[in-house]
Structure formats: C-alpha cells, structure tokens
A = this chain, B = another copy of it.
C-alpha cells in the first residue's frame, strides 16, 4: 500500500529515500478506506488529514446558497486530496471533500507533517508539488477568464483526459463552472462539426 507513495516521492526527489526514511513514511502515513460518497472533510471542519490517493477518485467542492456543488478539485491515483489552507492554517474549511469511487488513501496529520519537515527529500517533493500545483491553478484561472465554455472544455480534455473517463459529465461541467445542460449542448455541437 505504501509502495506507491514511496515510488511517487522518489520520482520527484533528487536522491531516493533511504531505508530509514522509507520506514518513517510507512509509520507516519495511515491507510484509510473510503466508500463511495463517503465524506473525507465537511464544510466548517478543520481539515485534520491530508491524503495521498493510492486508488480511487476524490472530489473537493463548495456548495452555494442554492445547494449547487462547485468542483474546485478532482483527485485520482497519485494525486493528493485535502484542503491545504484549512490543513495548514488550522482554520475551518469552506469545502466538502468526498470519495467519488471507493478509495484507498494514505493520510497524514498536521503534527506528523512537522516530523517530515526535517526530511530533505520530502521538502523537495513538497516544494516541487506546490510549484506544479501553482502552474496548474494559474492555467485554470486563465482558462476561466479567457476561454469560451467550448474552448475550456477542450482544454480540460487535453490536460486531464482521465477526468472524462472517470467522472460523469455533470461533475466535469461543475469543474468548468457551467451547467450540465450547457456541457451537453457543447459536446453535441462539437460532434456535428
């Protein structure tokens, strides 16, 4: 179960993890299984665990006053899940996180993360991860403000083709900030061309 995480860290870090570091990681990250639709985090809670997705699919979303869900993040295998701001700042989260498929996670607490902060390989990994994440978010913001709904859908399909396989259209539509009906029509129009 932990092997996927070890591989993942080794791929991002400059030097591979020592045996002792591997042991530390195995000790600190706790496995957790979530059933479909089971919450990992609910709004107004503090996010106590950050999770590495070993298998499955997670979604993070806000809910507006009308009850509509707005997907801010989707996570598949080898991605992370959790509300980073709430987890780091120990503040109540504005988001819900739940499992879209049955999911295996490796979770870490805020306290245990400070242990890993002494570890160079882990810091490097996190630094690179933050960087990659910032790149992705900037692209997404640019897409949100500059592309038409159709262009945005096509960009998403190019960036994360797995999303279209793993999540239904209403989730994809929500991720794009449009309704499922609009997405349905966009796909239909594009197919006609």
Contact = CB atoms under 8 A, between A and B. Distances in A.
A84 B131 contact: yes
Contacts of A11: none
A144 interface: yes
A137 B135 contact: no
Contacts of A147: 64
Interface in A48-86: 62, 64, 68, 70-73, 84-85
B130 A64 contact: no
Interface in A134-148: 134-135, 137-138, 140-142, 144-147
Interface stretch (A31-39, A170-178, A180-188): A170-178
Given A130-B134, A134-B137, A145 B88 contact: no
A177 B149 CA distance: 13
Nearest to A83: B138
A133 interface: yes
A174 B127 CA distance: 31
Given A134-B137, A141-B141, A146 B62 contact: yes
Interface in A111-152: 123, 126-127, 130-131, 133-135, 137-138, 140-142, 144-147
Contact of A131 (B130, B138, B175): B130
7 contacts: A62-B146, A72-B142, A84-B134, A84-B138, A123-B123, A137-B138, A144-B144
What 5 A-B pairs come out closest when comparing CB atoms? A145-B177, A70-B146, A137-B137, A144-B144, A130-B130
